[in-house]
Each structure stands twice: as structure tokens, then as C-alpha cells.
Structure 1
Amino acid sequence: MVKKQRSLQRREESLSRDSIIEASVALLDSGGEDGLTFRALSERLSTGPGAIYWHIADKSDLLTAACDSVVARTIHEIVETTPEETIRAIAAGLFDAISTHPWIGSALTSAPGASPIVRIVESIGQQICQLHVPETHQWTAAGALMAFILGVSSQNAANGQLARRQNLDRTDFLEALSTTWSQLDPEEYPFARSVAGRIRDHDDRADFLAGIDLILMGIESMRLRSQA
């Protein structure tokens, strides 16, 4: 009995919060939020739920910690250059991270005041300050970038998941969508018809970064107006 207790103690001591988070990210990547359970985590780590609860309060805490781990790693890898280029790099990094880990989108929206959101706000906010945006407009500028980055990235990831679940080929899907739009009523949907041909070969990531550039242009315009 004493030998068994010592063995259990050694397993619990060898278990770290980092190893739990790493295993959680793997479970989330393979099965989404539904795949992340303490039972599945216990089996993956070859330990009991009690040892995990020593490091993690509950599933919400675990999901936030896993999300924060990916966000922190993504931001840490950014090489700062000019404020504009750094913001583009942050946006591209988060777009790619959410595409790779689709569950991050909902994890971020379910914990708006938690560490991963704060990391993103801080990384963008510091660059906004370096752009010399007036203090009264800094939150607006950072908020616009945050809303666009997280909203578009999460939607793109959700679209990818839907396509995989329904076994949709992206090329075939876009071709069908382009054809449908090109046949819309020209008087009621003139714009949709005019861009129908561009749907076939558009690049989601390139469009996303073009949107970031538009917001940066707006921020610069706002800064100049405030100085006039």
C-alpha cells in the first residue's frame, strides 16, 4: 500500500501545468472543445483527475490556459520592426494560429478579460502608441484591429471546419458560389454580380491582410486629422 502511494505521488509530482496544457492543446486540435474532458486528459497523461485538478481549476480554466499558451507563443515569435509591419505580423500570426487551432476563436470570446485577450490587446496597443495615435483615439484604433483580426480569423477557421465536416473541396465550392452569384438579378444585386468572378481564386489570408492595411490607413488618417 505504501509503495502504491509513493508511486502515485511521483506521478503527480512529475505532472506539470505546462504538460497538462500541452496535452489539452493536442486534444482540442483533434476533437475540439467537446474532445477536451478531464477523463480524456487523464488517459492521455496516464494519471488521475485529482492530479490534474491540483494544477487546473476546471474546464474553463483549462481552455483559457490552452488558448493563452498558443497566443503567447504566437506573439513571442513576432519580430518587431516598424509599428505597421509589426501589427501586420501580429495579425498574420494570429490568423494562422486560429486557422491551425480553430477552437481558439470561441475560447477567446468566452473569456474576454482573461490573459490571452490581454496579451493581444497589449501587443497591438503598444504599436498603436508607437504610431503616435492621440491617446483619445488609441482604444478605438486598437479595438478596430482587435475586432477585425479575431472576427475574420475565427470566421475563416469556422468555414474551414464546416468544409472539412461536409467533405467540401474549396475549389469546387468557390466555383459553385461564383456561378450562383453571377446568375443573381443584375438590378437587385449589381455589386455581388460584379465580384462573382473574383470569388473563384481569391486568397483568404491575402484578403485578410489587405483589410488590415485598410484599417491602418484609417488609423493614419485619424492621426493626421487630430493634428490638423
Structure 2
Amino acid sequence: MAQRTRADALSRERIVEAAVALLDADGERGLTFRTLTERLATGPGAIYWHLANKGELLDAATDSVIADALTAEPGVGSPQDEIRAVALGLFEAIDRHPWLSTQLAVQLSRSPWGTVTPRIFESIGRRVSALGVPEATWFTATSALVHYIFGAAGQNAANAQVLRFGGTDRAEFLRAAVDAWEGLDPGEFPFLKSIAGQVREHDDREQFLTGIDLILTGITAQGRS
């Protein structure tokens, strides 16, 4: 009976919140039931009462972060504007929680029927359907947007992690990359040399949203055709 009381006192929400904090600090390897019990100053039984294993814990943490990201989505505006806002919300969530990218990929490939993938597809898909494009293209168009968001945001988060653990400043890293590209053989790498200057000053979020706009332009053009 005492164990039940302790478990009830420690809510699922508190457990998930602590798990997210551990994941943010040290990634998936930093999240164990031992570190979680230490952070919550409780015994493992109270946690197991709510979540059976680490897989369930990771799923719950992912669901919580995505739910928060999509809660702030706009309810007014053009479908294009709302898609941009939803996409940017997901981009920023992955930027704040770098471990999220891997978990989204896992859920998309292993359990697309779970809570996370349907929520993301529904949020973006509703806006895609409002663009006036043929219904037969809805799944392909929505998938293109979702995969771009996951890929671009995930790469951005991975880059940030490399810089974080390497102790390198982003501007310094970009300068080194640009210098290296500008020093390439112009006969073999004419394109890279031509865009090197654009890399130096680019903004990650603006670049991400430009990619969203390119996809939306293609989707709407296909609808007109």
C-alpha cells in the first residue's frame, strides 16, 4: 500500500519532465532509470508504476515535446503561413532537444501508428489539403514536407551538438569551412567556390524556411497543373 502511495505522489508528468531534462543534458545515454531515480529522489518502483521500460520513457518524452511544439501552432492565416509556422515550431523543438531527431526517425519507421507521427502528419496534412491541390497528392506532398522537416532540423541539431561538444564557435566553424571551399581547385569544384561566400553569413532558420517555401511552391504548382 505504501508503494502505491509513493507511485501516485510521483506523477507521470513529473517523470517525463525529468526524463526530458536528462535527455537534453546528456542525450539518450544519459537517461537511465538509475539517473532518473536519483534526479527525482525516489525508488525505481515509483517510476515503473507509470512506465515499464526505457522505450516507453523515450516515447513519452518525445510525445510530450512534440505536443508542446504543436500546441503553439497558429489557428489563423493562409495554409502556407500555417505550414511555415508548424514547421518552424518543430525545427525549434528539435534544435532545443537534439535527441528528438533520432526518436522521431525511430517512431516514424517503427511505429507510425503511435501518438507522435499521426499528430505531426495531421497538423501538416490539414494545411496541405487546404492548399487546393488534388486529394491524390495529399500524402506525397505531406510526406515531402515532414521528411524535409525531420532531415533539415535533425542535421541542424547534429551540427549544433558537434560544435557544443567540440567547443567551437559556429561563426568560427563556418569561416573555416568557407576558407577551405574557397581554396578548392576551381576546375574541379566551381560550384562550391561560387557559393562559399553565401555559407559564411547564412541564417539556419531562414535557410530552413526557404526550403519549406520551395516545397510549397512545387506542391501548389503541381495543383495548378
TM-score, shorter chain, exceeding 0.5: yes
Match of 1:95 in 2: 91
The alignment partner of 2:151 has SS state of helix
Deviation of 1:188 after TM superposition, in Å, equals 1.3
The alignment partner of 1:131 has SS state of coil
Across the two proteins, how many residue pairs are aligned to each other?
220
Q: Residue 18 of structure 2 is aligned with which of 19, 23, 27?
A: 23
Deviation of 1:115 after TM superposition, in Å, equals 1.5
Match of 1:213 in 2: 213
Change (3 A) 1:133 1:57: farther
Asked whether the 8 Å contact 1:95–1:149 carries over to 2, the reply is yes
The alignment partner of 2:185 has SS state of coil
Question: Residues 95-118 of structure 1: CA distance to partner in whole angstroms, max 9, x if unpaired?
Answer: 111000000000111122131122
Aligned-pair RMSD on alpha carbons? 1.1
Match of 1:160 in 2: 160
Deviation of 1:9 after TM superposition, in Å, equals 3.7
Runs of 4+ in 1 over 4 A off after TM superposition: none
Deviation of 1:58 after TM superposition, in Å, equals 1.2
Matches of 1:62 and 1:109, distance apart in 2 = 16
Matches of 1:137 and 1:170, distance apart in 2 = 39
Q: Which runs of 5+ in 2 are unaligned?
A: none
Deviation of 1:87 after TM superposition, in Å, equals 0.3
Question: Residues 27-80 of structure 1: CA distance to partner in whole angstroms, max 9, x if unpaired?
Answer: 111111011101111111222112211111211111111011011111011112
The alignment partner of 2:118 has SS state of helix
Deviation of 1:10 after TM superposition, in Å, equals 2.6
Q: TM-score, normalised by structure 1?
A: 0.93
The alignment partner of 1:133 has SS state of coil
Q: Residue 40 of structure 1 is aligned with which of 22, 35, 38?
A: 35
Asked whether the 8 Å contact 1:99–1:153 carries over to 2, the reply is yes
Q: Percent identity?
A: 50
Within 5 Å, give how 1:32-111 maps onto structure 2: 32-80=27-75, 81-111=77-107
Matches of 2:133 and 2:14, distance apart in 1 = 41
Matches of 1:95 and 1:12, distance apart in 2 = 35
Deviation of 1:213 after TM superposition, in Å, equals 0.4
Matches of 1:150 and 1:84, distance apart in 2 = 18
Matches of 2:166 and 2:104, distance apart in 1 = 26
Match of 1:14 in 2: 9
Q: TM-score, normalised by structure 2?
A: 0.95
The alignment partner of 1:30 has SS state of helix
Q: Which amino acid in structure 2 is aligned with residue 222 of structure 1?
A: Q
Match of 2:178 in 1: 178
Q: Which runs of 5+ in 1 are unaligned?
A: none
Q: Which amino acid in structure 1 is aligned with residue 197 of structure 2?
A: G
Q: Which amino acid in structure 1 is aligned with residue 141 of structure 2?
A: A
Asked whether the 8 Å contact 1:24–1:66 carries over to 2, the reply is yes
Asked whether the 8 Å contact 1:12–1:47 carries over to 2, the reply is no
